[in-house]
Chain A
Amino acid sequence: MGVPMYKLKKYIVSNALAWTIGIIWLIPFIGVLMASIRPYEEIVSGWWHFDTFTITLENYIKAFNHPMFPISDGLKNSLIVAIPSAIVPLIVAALAAYAFARYSFPVKHYLFAFIVFLMALPQQMTVVPLYFLLRNLHMLNTFGGLIIVHSAWGLAWIIFFMRNYFSMLPTDVEEAARTDGATDFQIFYKIVLPMALPGLISAAILQFTWVWSDFFLALVFLQNPEKYVATQRLPLLRGQYFVDWGILTAASIMVMIVPLLVYALFQKYYISGMIGWSTEK
């Protein structure tokens, strides 16, 4: 073989380093998986011991049907909250983003700067007054209340994201349609939205996974254990006298499998959304 020595060395060093890093980053996940599929006795002194290796789905069943905080209901509640919380702000934000991308109107730049400012704010900045507002509206402890809060909160970043997306689309088709007598709303609905579909998918996917993963807003606005979403139930599944890592890890896997699946299925949209919303102007 005509491979020079220095190239071989470079090949080995680079690959060894890359894969060592990859394995270090993977080990926590392997641990979670191991703890979830093996009985408690086998993992209590370290899942990396393989003297006995029994595979069981017991932990998953226990977490799914937990007597106090069944993850099954949590997953259901999370879906009930996350699906509308992705769709509602997407529609509302797309409309607003279109106004920012295609029209000029008074205070537009201030309004847009204000929306960017809202994007940076911590949710802590809204929850105290929102708590009392929802209580007065009798929407505390309801999925509807949480969905409204998520939708309103998601608007800022989706407006920002979709406005960038619309700005990159060519406008000649829209102008042609206008000449043909289409109304502004028809142009938006029939021409712009279909063209912006990849952007809409990216935004919907990210908003869905963020709402699914939310913990703080659910913690504030859902206080009835029956209504708890999946992320709220996770910290409550530890055993009474000891931390039952089997149940905790099995429940963790069931909670994270949804965003992981979304990521795996829509990787292209996910990544472009991720990069797009934080870089493009």
Chain B
Amino acid sequence: MRSSKSLTPLFFLLPALALMVPFVIYPVLKTVYLSFFLDGKFVGLENYKNVLLSPDIVNLERFPTKSPPWGALIHNVVLIAIHLPATVFLGLGIALLLRRKEVKGSSVVKSIIFLGMVIPMIVGGLIIRFLFEEGAGVIPAIFRLLGIERLAITWTAYPETALFAVILGSIWIWTGFSMLMYSAGLASIPKDYYEAALIDGANRFQIFKNVTWPLLRPITVVVVAMTLLWDLKIFDVVYVATGGGPGGASMVLALQMWDYFARALNYNYAAVVAVLLATLTLIPALWLIRRRE
């Protein structure tokens, strides 16, 4: 490590600062600033109050007793509550399964599941619409076959099902990430750990609980944090799969921000939603940083 009183490090940093200061740092600060103003006047936390109390964001009249819309913030929370555990455990389960040496072509299966991570999210969202469309889509056809007519519909067109189409589709898209991370993590566990546990007479469940799972902990931290970030930032998938509808029944925070910004032309409310979203993303981000130190 060269400690330099010279200006050398500054020269290396200068181009990055020249791009980041005007095009990242200034806009971030300006967004925070905008969130406290309305029509050019400082209004303190007034915007925050109005946005948070708006049924667009939290709709306690409908949640949890009635069908969505429940408000964008609650939709993100519901997405997290289902999508996070589902992808973490599916990814881990699939990684464990594909690691068994008797499975033939495990790398092919791995690549297939990872495809969801490679395609643009806008395509992912379009595929969700296609999957859940009555007639052309597989999912309603399966429910028809099972005799469950209530779900043999175009999921993205009904408030009861639109959010869940997005959530199920998101599991399909995002499981590849968790699987990939756990596969890499499992491959890095030395074989003698297992051999030692076997000699001690541990059964498979005990080995998993006492050896594999604790050793995968750093991976789990990353997977959980990244999945939380993905769930909070989700935009493209919802934009194209449901447009946040019908009637806001699958609206999420990132899309609500766009709605205030581009449709309502209310830049201050858009800034408030952006700041809320950023604050929420800091929770997993800070947790991730602290866990690794």
Contacts and interface: CB of A to CB of B under 8 A. Distances in A.
B94 A21 contact: yes
B205 interface: no
B112 A26 contact: yes
A113 B133 CA distance: 45
A110 interface: no
Interface stretch (A50-58, A99-107, A194-202): A99-107
Contacts of B94: 18, 21
B218 interface: yes
Chain B CB within 10 A, most for which of A18, A19, A249, A260: A18
B102 A128 contact: no
B113 interface: yes
Interface string A20-63: 01100111110110010000000111111000000000000000
A137 to B, nearest CB: 9
B120 A281 contact: no
A99 B13 contact: yes
A215 B261 contact: no
B247 interface: no
The dominant DSSP class at the A interface is: helix
A249 B119 CA distance: 13
Contacts of A89: 19
B158 to A, nearest CB: 16
Interface in A92-144: 92-93, 95-96, 98-99, 102-105, 108, 113, 116-130, 133
A117 B27 contact: no
Given A102-B1, A129-B31, A234-B122, A92 B15 contact: yes
A22 B113 CA distance: 7
Contacts of A182: none
Given A92-B19, A245-B136, A255 B120 contact: yes
Contacts of A151: 19
Given A116-B289, A128-B274, A279 B222 contact: yes
A125 B278 contact: yes
A156 interface: yes
Contacts of B292: 281
Contacts of B109: 18-19, 21-22, 25
A98 B258 CA distance: 37
A10 B121 CA distance: 37
A176 interface: no
Given A128-B274, A279-B218, A103 B141 contact: no
A248 B273 contact: no
B180 A274 contact: yes
Interface in B109-127: 109, 112-113, 115-123, 126-127
Chain B CB within 10 A, most for which of A11, A32, A99, A119: A99
Interface stretch (B47-55, B64-72, B79-87, B234-242): B234-242
A161 to B, nearest CB: 13
Chain B CB within 10 A, most for which of A149, A152, A209: A152
A207 interface: no
B12 to A, nearest CB: 4
Contact of A245 (B130, B278, B285): B130
Contact of B102 (A14, A47, A153): A14
Interface residues on A, range: 35 or more
B141 A125 contact: no
A245 B130 CA distance: 8
Given A44-B135, A152-B19, A155-B20, A122 B130 contact: no
Contacts of B229: 120
Contact of B282 (A22, A117, A159, A213): A117
Contacts of B172: 25, 28
Interface in B1-58: 1-4, 8-13, 15-17, 19-20, 22-28, 30-31, 34
Contact of A126 (B27, B112, B181): B27
B263 to A, nearest CB: 12
B123 A234 contact: yes
A193 to B, nearest CB: 12
B130 A28 contact: yes
Chain B CB within 10 A, most for which of A48, A117, A126, A260: A126
Nearest to A45: B135
Interface in B152-187: 172, 175, 177, 180-181, 184
Given A21-B94, A96-B15, A263-B118, 5 more contacts: A15-B103, A45-B135, A96-B17, A234-B126, A271-B180
12 contacts: A32-B127, A48-B141, A89-B19, A99-B12, A103-B3, A105-B10, A124-B235, A152-B22, A153-B24, A184-B8, A259-B120, A270-B118
